Copies of this chain bind each other. A is one copy, B any other.
Amino acid sequence: MEGLSERIAVVTSPEPLHPPRIVIVGAGFGGLSAATRLGRAEADVTVIDRHNHHLFQPLLYQIATAALSPADIAAPIRSILGRQRNTRVMLGTVTGIDVAGHAVMLGERRIPYDYLVIATGAQDAYFGHDEWATVTLSLKDVEEARAMRRRILIAFEHAEDSDDEAERRRLMTFVIVGGGPTGVELAGALAELSKATLARDFRRIDPTAARIILVEGGPRLVASFPPRLSAVAARALTRLGVELRLGVPVTDCDSNGVLLGVERIESRTVIWAAGVAASPAAQWLGVEAGRGGRLTVGPDLSLPEHPEIFVIGDTALVAGPGGDPLPGVAPVAKQQGTYVARAIIGRLTGRTPPPFRYRNAGNLATIGRREAIADFGWLRLSGRPAWLLWSVVHIYFLIGFRNRLVVAMEWLWSYLTYQRGARLITDERIETAPDQGLMGGHDDGSRATSSTT
């Protein structure tokens, strides 16, 4: 495959004064695959991202549940691409695209391109209730994961400290909206955090009594898996003490709980893992967005009216073999990134690339430390074998040798001890400032508790 780039002898770019300029927006799985594949092309490659690091998003829930540190699952984009002399990395936020003028806009600044790859991923969608974003927690980047970790750990601290029985119950009730892989993995990890890791560390509350409720609007969990594996996931979560509410839509959310049809659940921690929508790429380009805000692309993943603009990963709407859209998962984004790099190199040499075709790389999800489900089409696994497979695959794909070793060690450690490595509450002064002192802030004058037995 590297032969492709070596064969470029004559550059057929319309502007022969400079090498073709390829701009890649987003350094997730898709953008990074494209960038590394273009590392030896005779082109100027620019990678723009809002963050300085590539994030291994499938493990983000482990930061939120205090199992891993952010640095364990992130690697600096500059250091990944540091050896590619034709590649420049820019830290910046795209504000628009000048389609006619062939330039990406970063505020007032223009980054011109001959070829553009849009790999900006997805963001949360709230089914038309954008106000729910302010009262729920979500999980898309390191900051959000850290905020979730803080909120979860602080909830137990507040509960330990509260003399109000109703408030204590609210604090120890965690609602996760969305029964996809993220929701299922979060629910499992949260159950183990409260029932094992924190079990002995408090005096007035019993963390093992925390309620974890997983809400899914559809009839079954992880609907992208076959029904048999959905049932495995449901059983495993129930065994961990997670309460399931299937086929129940969320009708309202506020900072004290959620409404599920007629059932009101009081909770101070509502986690949103329900819908994703593509990043605002459609708006930047001034084109009509398809399902889920995604952009419909041609067989070579370029826009029908703009063959110089490619869209990949969660931002693109591409039909899979069965006709359904390909899911927003890492293997799809990676294969598309690689494909697009080869397509651009092909175009530069005047060749038309064959259409993109997805090779099914399988579908994996884990539920706590014992159970996982795996679907490869021809092979379906659950139980310990799937869990082992899940661990190996995730460690293998973590970018950077160092991160792999650290994550493997953390997992081994927490598997053996049930302890968690990253149980930090930081920024808590911000969180507690309004109360001036302890978060609960009541004044009973009595001895707060008797701690001896």
Contact = CB atoms under 8 A, between A and B. Distances in A.
A172 B451 CA distance: 53
Interface string A7-22: 0000000000011010
Contacts of A42: 452
A184 to B, nearest CB: 25
Of A105, A110, A444, the most chain B CB neighbours within 10 A belong to: A110
Contacts of A405: 409, 413
Interface string A62-76: 000000011110101
A432 interface: yes
Contacts of A85: 451-453
B437 A95 contact: yes
Contact of A78 (B91, B95, B201, B429): B201
A46 interface: yes
Contacts of A421: 71, 402-403, 406
Nearest to A156: B78
Nearest to A112: B447
A443 B90 contact: no
Contact of A437 (B74, B108, B437, B443): B108
Contact of A19 (B410, B438, B452): B452
Interface stretch (A50-58, A121-129, A174-182): A50-58
A52 B198 CA distance: 13
Interface of A: 18-19, 21, 42, 44-46, 50-53, 69-72, 74, 76, 78-79, 82-83, 85-95, 105-112, 142-143, 146, 153-154, 157, 161, 198, 200-203, 402-403, 405-406, 409-410, 413, 417, 419, 421-429, 432, 435-445, 447-453
Closest 8 CB pairs of A and B: A107-B437, A92-B438, A78-B201, A88-B451, A71-B422, A69-B69, A106-B437, A108-B443
28 contacts: A18-B450, A19-B452, A44-B451, A44-B452, A45-B451, A50-B429, A52-B425, A53-B424, A69-B70, A71-B421, A71-B423, A71-B424, A78-B198, A78-B201, A78-B202, A82-B200, A91-B425, A91-B438, A93-B432, A107-B435, A108-B443, A109-B437, A109-B438, A109-B441, A109-B448, A111-B448, A143-B426, A402-B417
